[in-house]
Each structure stands twice: as C-alpha cells, then as structure tokens.
Amino acid sequence: MKPVIGIVTGQMGGEVPRFAVPCAYVRAVERAGGLALQLPVSAATDGEVLQQWLSLCGGFLLAGGGDVAPAYYGQSPIPQIGPTSRLRDNVELSLCRAAQRAGKPVLGICRGIQVLNVAFGGTLWQDIPVQCRGAICHAQSPENRGELFHSIGIAPGSVLAGVMGSTRQECNSFHHQAVRDVASGFLAVAHAPDGVIEAVEDTRGLMLGVQWHAEELEAQFPSHAALFQWLVEKAKSEAM
C-alpha cells in the first residue's frame, strides 16, 4: 500500500467555484511513491473531521497560495498584503497542530512554510521589498517556474541538508513574504544570500517547510525530488 499524502486544496471562485490544487504537487507526490489525496478546504475545522483526515493520511503537504492573514501572528495588515482566506488559514493551522499531536509528517511549500511557522507561534515578513532592507529579488518571472533563480545556504547537520544531500543548493523563487520570527520548537535551516529564511524544520524531524516551489523542480533536480521522497518515507515509517 502506498502512503497516502493529504494535500489541502485552495478554493477558487469564478462562474463555477471549485476546490483545486496545482497538478505539480500531485505529480511530485506520485513520483515519490505516495498516493496524493486532495482534501477540500472547508469550514469543518472541528476535531471529528481532522481526526478523519489523520486516519486517512500518513502525512500532509501544505501547498502554495495566498497570504496568511496577519491577525494570526499578531500584526495588522500593511498595504502590500496580498489576498487572504481566513477559511483556508483556519483549516491549515488547525491541521498542522493536529498533525503534530498525532506524530504525522508535514511538508510545507511556499505558503506552506509560512503556515507551519504561524501555527506554532512564529511571525512573517508581510512584504520583503518593503520590510527587508537589502533584500534580493525573490519574485522571478512566473513563466520560468522550472528554472533555478538564486542560491541558498543550508545548515550543516540539519534534516534538510541530509535530505537534499548538501549545504548549498539553487532554487526558484515566487514569494513576497517569508518567515520572520521562527516558531518555538523549530529551527531556521536555510537562508538566501540576503539572510531571508528559506527553510525551517521542527526539532522532532517530522515537519519541514521550504520557501521555494520544489514541486516545479523535482522532475529535473533529484535534490528537490528528495523532499517529496522524505515526506513519503516518513509517512510510511510513522505508519509502521
């Protein structure tokens, strides 16, 4: 049996509203040997629904998306804040805490690293260009999602360094927010050349968040594919 990896979907408007997650996340999980299960974001943040998700899934993937509402980390929004969804925030923040209690692995990507950090008491930079003096560009052209954009330095001895196989990597970049104050029980384990945090992991080795879109790189670069393999293997081992 393949380990089931739950991916919380976003909610899209339009003439026909729908729940959706980009195909690249599903394909990355499948290529890593997992079975991707899309979890529709809903108002059902009660314990019963979360317990059903925890029973169905061996691990969880938090995908990219809009900004986390600043109220969740004790701040008022600045003018540069992007679209937010309190519904999705509530669901994913609750899921992170429930997964931790259940000992389920979580991989957070882009928005996902930010959700992980906020879920356990951390804060965010609401807008890097405005708030981080001397920052490099963190928003490459959206047409080049599969191209490497800037380097990252990874902490020696970290889970991330072990997973990716080195302390120096290249990544893509499509974000205007980032982890600011790291949550209790987590460590900042990767940084961009300007010092902006690019990855965090919890001290138990079950939760890993990266700021770049590894799902767009994993088909070409084994070190990025290894992130999804880590999630699937952790989901498999935790189920034994």
Catalytic positions, written as ranges: 110, 213, 215
Q: How far is Cα 39 from Cα 149, in angstroms, rounded to an integer?
A: 31
For residue 185 the two structure tokens come to 């029980």
Q: How far is Cα 134 from Cα 180, in angstroms, rounded to an integer?
A: 15
- CB-based contact 211:113 (threshold 8 Å): yes
Give helix 86-102 / helix 111-119 axis angle, nearest 10°.
Answer: 70
Q: Could you give the 3-state DSSP secondary structure of residue 12? A: strand
Q: Which residue has the tokens 């061996």?
A: 58
Amino acid at 11: Q
Phi, psi of 13 (to 5 degrees): -90, -150
For residue 164, count other CB atoms closer than 10 A to its CB.
Answer: 26
